[in-house]
Amino acid sequence: MIAILKKELWSYFGNWSAWIIIAAFSLITTLFLFFFDNDSNIFEIGMASLQSYFVLVPWLLMFIIPALSMKTFAEEQQTGTLNWLFSQPLKISDLVTGKFLSVWIVGVLCLIPSLIYLYTVYVLGVPAGNIDLGMTFGSYIGLIILIAAFAGVGILASSLSQNQIMAYLLGVFMCFIMYFGIEQLASYKLLGGADFILQNIGFYQHFLGFTRGLIDSKDIAYFILVIGASLVLSNHFINKKK
């Protein structure tokens, strides 16, 4: 697993793709938070808070994480190297976990530049430091866990597809449905009492608790279950390709 993790990380950072994604992610969030005229602009909100950042980022991650994960297995199938990996003394579970961790790590690194935003808002607050750090750090933890969930879904999409474009489109679609689609469907209240159950199947409600500074064991357990299920299914579909 460690060997696969190192190989994948090198493939991301060795050809500059990870650096470009991190830079693009940081540029987009900077423009939305400080320059563009929109509801996320911190200066227009007039509050020492990064909540608009935590609302914006999941939507960006919905496109970025599938872009990172689409190559994990789809590219291996396209180039024929998946069969070579099958011939190595390597467990499929180690292969899946190593690739998952590499996507997760690169996704988390996208958040590092946002510490500059945190410092900026901290200094600009009146008085300086007038920011809810508990809510902020809770939101960061929520984002780290959400990235893992998106990575698991993206790995699953890649294991189901035979080319990278289909893996990307399927990954974006699955992440969108899990984060927003289910929540939006439940908001129509078409199923009566079952709407609450439907609402809790999606990512949004569980991530929302973190953005309020509430680190609930139920939300953590939910994401662990989703990630575990995604990796188990990925393992199953890759085994079927042997």
Q: pLDDT, tens digit, for every residue of 23-34?
A: 999 999 999 988
- What percent of the chain lies above the pLDDT cut of 90? 55
How many Cβ atoms are within 10 Å of 125's Cβ, its own excluded?
A: 14
DSSP state of 161: -
Mean pLDDT, range 133-142, rounded to an integer: 92
Let me know: does 30 contact 54? Beta carbons within 8 Å: no
* Banded model confidence at residue 227, pLDDT cuts 50, 70, 90: very high
pLDDT at 132: 83
* Banded model confidence at residue 36, pLDDT cuts 50, 70, 90: confident
Reported as a single tens digit per residue, the pLDDT across 62-90 is 999 999 999 889 888 888 788 888 888 88
pLDDT at 89: 84
- What percent of the chain lies above the pLDDT cut of 70? 98
Give the three-state DSSP class for 18.
Answer: helix
* Banded model confidence at residue 151, pLDDT cuts 50, 70, 90: very high
Indicate the average pLDDT of the chain.
Answer: 89
- Residue-by-residue DSSP string for 84-102: HHHTSS--HHHHHHHHHHH
Mean pLDDT, range 165-181, rounded to an integer: 94
Q: Where are the alpha helices (DSSP H) in 80-188?
A: 81-86, 92-109, 114-124, 133-160, 164-176, 182-187
Reported as a single tens digit per residue, the pLDDT across 84-127 is 888 888 889 999 999 999 999 999 999 999 999 999 888 887 77
Domain boundaries, the chain: 54-113+132-240
Mean pLDDT, range 138-157, rounded to an integer: 96
Mean pLDDT, range 168-191, rounded to an integer: 88
